[in-house]
């Protein structure tokens, strides 16, 4: 089973934001299994069978967005609310790109068959066996990205190291016990548990293809790297890869897509390529609204001129375009379309210190 780690490529305006923690999570977790297609891991000399630990508590149930489309009336109030929802959605995408669940986005590359992992070593067949519950020391993993690695990982899986396919129902569970070391010149620590459940069968681990679904469970998972901390996170996420190889992540009632198209410097400086999310409608928690971004760029907390996004709810839509932007005011043009009729509004967002106010007029 191969894994491709995406590198976020920022636009010229923003320096590269490195997410060392995410990469370390992936490499530690998969290398600890020694799965043949991972091309890494320690030898059997450093792995010991231990008694089955007390089962982890059942994680919270997956919370998905509503399945009923909302509506968008044609009014100044809806135009203003659409702008607020768009900027909130952009901020949510940025937050999600930097939390522990982001570490699973490289599975998008895995599932679409893009492969760049090394081939297994000649010694690999010697340690191919069904993994029972095993404890693996961090120092035995041989992961070059982490230096001075200490701590251990308890691994439980029903996947054979020699497996070339996975039936639906296969799982991999990992409990990190005070993992620490140095990654990218920064101190790194990981604690807590995560589990991967394969909800669809994979016929070829070397080329899993598309139309794949994984459930990702976190239990008190926390990490720190370079002074930044994450968690503890207890949640269930759903990773889906569609027929075109595009991954989406569902977590806490929101479905995210195109997270690999983000370029993030910090919460006030970022760009979104064609990222998308589906969440509950701001005025109806039982209905959803889709937000699709197109070259949305934010600098110093202000969306830049030319940025655009489209909100859709069933047959209704709102096209939002940033017409002008300064430190004190951002002007949005909002086109609300319903039943083949379009109405246009201008929404002005005015900034005064920490105060943000809006005004609306029909065009």
- The predicted pLDDT at position 31 comes to 46
Q: Find all residues with CB under 8 Å of 183, minimum gap 6, and list them.
A: 20, 21, 23, 24, 145, 146, 147, 225
**Whole-number Å distance between alpha carbons of 86 and 277:** 10
All residues at 6 or more sequence positions from 55 whose CB lies less than 8 Å from its CB, including other chains: none
pTM here is 0.73
**Mean pLDDT (whole number) for 270-291:** 94
Residue 292 in contact with residue 274, Cβ under 8 Å? yes
In terms of Cβ atoms closer than 10 Å to its own Cβ (0-12, 13-18, 19+), residue 213 is middle
184 compared with 1, residue with greater pLDDT: 184
State residue 96's pLDDT score: 81
pLDDT band at 21 (very low <50, low <70, confident <90, very high): very low
The string of pLDDT tens digits covering residues 69-91 is 999 999 999 999 999 999 999 99
Distance (Å) of CA 136 to CA 57, 140, 190 = 22, 7, 15
pLDDT of res. 138: 73
DSSP 289: E
| Pairwise CA distance, residues 240 & 247, whole Å | 6
Helix (H) or strand (E) holding 24: helix 20-33
Token digits of residue 156: 């439980």
Comparison of pLDDT for 43 and 343, the residue scoring more? 343
Best CA proximity match to 345, nearest among 87, 75, 81, 86: 75
Q: Output the 3-class SS for 116-172.
A: CCCCCCCCHHHHCCECCCEEEEHHHCCCCCEEEEEEEEEEEECCECCCCCECCCCEE
C-alpha count within 13 angstroms, C-beta hemisphere, residue 206: 7
Contact between 91 and 124 under an 8 Å Cβ cutoff? The reply is no
């Amino acid at each position: 089973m191969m894994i491709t780690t995406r590198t976020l490529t920022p636009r010229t305006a923003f320096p590269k934001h490195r997410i060392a923690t995410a990469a370390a999570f992936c490499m530690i977790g998969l290398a600890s299994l020694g799965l043949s297609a991972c091309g890494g891991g320690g030898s059997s000399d450093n792995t010991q069978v231990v008694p089955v630990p007390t089962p982890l508590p059942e994680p919270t149930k997956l919370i998905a967005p509503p399945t009923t489309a909302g509506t968008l009336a044609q009014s100044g109030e809806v135009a203003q609310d659409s702008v607020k929802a768009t900027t909130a959605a952009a901020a949510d995408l940025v937050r999600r790109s930097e939390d522990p669940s982001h570490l699973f986005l490289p599975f998008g590359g895995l599932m679409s068959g893009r492969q760049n992992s090394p081939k297994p070593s000649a010694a690999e067949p010697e340690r191919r066996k069904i993994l029972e519950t095993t404890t693996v020391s961090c120092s035995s993993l041989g992961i070059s990205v982490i230096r001075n690695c200490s701590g251990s990982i308890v691994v439980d899986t029903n996947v054979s190291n020699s497996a070339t396919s996975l039936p639906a129902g296969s799982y991999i569970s990992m409990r990190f016990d005070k993992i620490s070391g140095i990654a990218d010149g920064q101190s790194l620590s990981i604690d807590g548990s995560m589990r991967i459940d394969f909800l669809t069968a994979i016929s070829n681990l070397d080329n899993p293809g598309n139309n794949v679904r994984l459930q990702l469970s976190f239990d008190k998972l926390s990490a720190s790297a370079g002074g930044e901390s994450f968690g503890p996170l207890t949640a269930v996420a759903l990773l889906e890869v569609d027929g075109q190889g595009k991954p989406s992540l569902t977590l806490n009632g929101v479905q995210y897509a195109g997270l690999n198209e983000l370029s993030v410097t910090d919460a006030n400086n970022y760009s979104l390529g064609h990222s998308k999310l589906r969440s509950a409608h701001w005025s109806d928690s039982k209905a959803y609204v889709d937000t699709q971004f197109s070259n949305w760029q934010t600098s110093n907390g202000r969306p830049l001129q030319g940025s655009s996004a489209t909100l859709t709810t069933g047959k209704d839509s709102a096209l939002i375009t940033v017409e002008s932007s300064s430190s004190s005011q951002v002007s949005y043009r909002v086109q609300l379309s319903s039943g083949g009729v379009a109405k246009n509004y201008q929404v002005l967002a005015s900034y005064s210190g920490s105060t943000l106010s809006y005004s609306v007029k029909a065009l």
